[in-house]
Amino acid sequence: MLPPGERVVMISGANRGIGAAIARRLSAGGFRLSLGVRNGKAPAVAASERCLVARYEAKERESPKAWVDATLERFGRIDALVNNAGIARVSAVEDDTEDTLDEMWLVNVKAPLRMIRAALPHLKKSGVGRVVNVASLSGKRVKNDNAGYAMTKFALMGLTHAVRRLGWEHGIRATAICPSFVATDMTADVEGVDRGEMIRPEDIAELVATVLSLPNNAAIAELLVNMSYEESV
């Protein structure tokens, strides 16, 4: 494995929540970072000379290539991609409109796919390329009426395993991290769940750092992260 100081990690949705926590943890670990953000304030680690902040809009088809190009111009290589950006909307089976589902499908599935396509040649060159997709336990089981969100996360799981298979001979290892409720802005309106019992973003960040530190012969395909007891899925 390359030492952290020589490895370049791209993180989408890095300006808040889980993405910002991942950026802080990896910065502390010595990684070089390329942070994809929309229009929000960049995390404090962006002040480091070892960090690039680039515009990334998951809904725009050309945004992944532009971000990859900016990363290569700055660092000359890409060793890992963390697909963290995502949205949660309510889309039930019986809903008459598919607009909400289409939006989630674009951001939660097609955008990570496009990011992987853009970064893949450079991850192959690395020999120790890593793809980490921040999914959800909703990609492993369905516990409420929000079928649309679960559908997108199930699809993201399929994408993870497809990349794992495709990239294996090139040294690429793909991992899906599947947490339950995480205490971020996305879950601020969640009712019936004690916020103090939710998973901390910093704990997800620690798992990402662990996945990135493992050698090619100790790969983890899925990490399920529970905040409360659930039967195995």
What CATH number is associated with residue 200?
3.40.50.720
Whether residue 142 lies inside any domain: the answer is yes
Q: What is the pLDDT of residue 181?
A: 87
- Domain limits for position 76: 4-225
Find the Cα–Cα–Cα–Cα dihedral 143, 150, 224, 68, rounded to 10°.
-160
Helix (H, G, I), strand (E, B) or coil at 133: strand
Kindly state the DSSP code that residue 189 receives in the 8-state scheme. Answer: T
Return the active site residues: 149
Contact status, residue 11 vs residue 21, Cβ threshold 8 Å: no
pLDDT at 188: 66
Token reading at 133: 């997709």
Q: What is the pLDDT of residue 48?
A: 81
64 located within any domain: yes
CA pair distance 59, 107, nearest whole angstrom: 6
Rounded to two decimals, the pTM is: 0.95
Q: Does residue 32 fall inside a structural domain? A: yes
Specify the pLDDT at position 185: 74
Q: Is there a domain that residue 233 lies in?
A: no
- Which residue is listed with tokens 């909307």? 89
Q: How far apart are CA 152 and CA 149, in angstroms?
A: 5
On whether residue 214 sits in a domain, the answer given is yes
Whole-number Cα distances in Å, 206 to 13, 27, 200: 17, 12, 10
Q: 186 burial class (0-12, 13-18, 19+ CB within 10 angstroms)?
A: middle
128, part of any domain = yes
DSSP codes joined into one string, 81-110? EEE---------TT-S--HHHHHHHIIIII
Domain count, the chain: 1
pLDDT tens-digit map of 60-85: 999 999 999 999 999 999 999 999 99
232 in a structural domain = no
| Residues in the chain with pLDDT values less than 70 | 40-41, 188, 233
Q: Which of 77, 62, 79 is closest to 2 using CA atoms?
A: 79
pLDDT of amino acid 40? 63
33 lies in some domain? yes
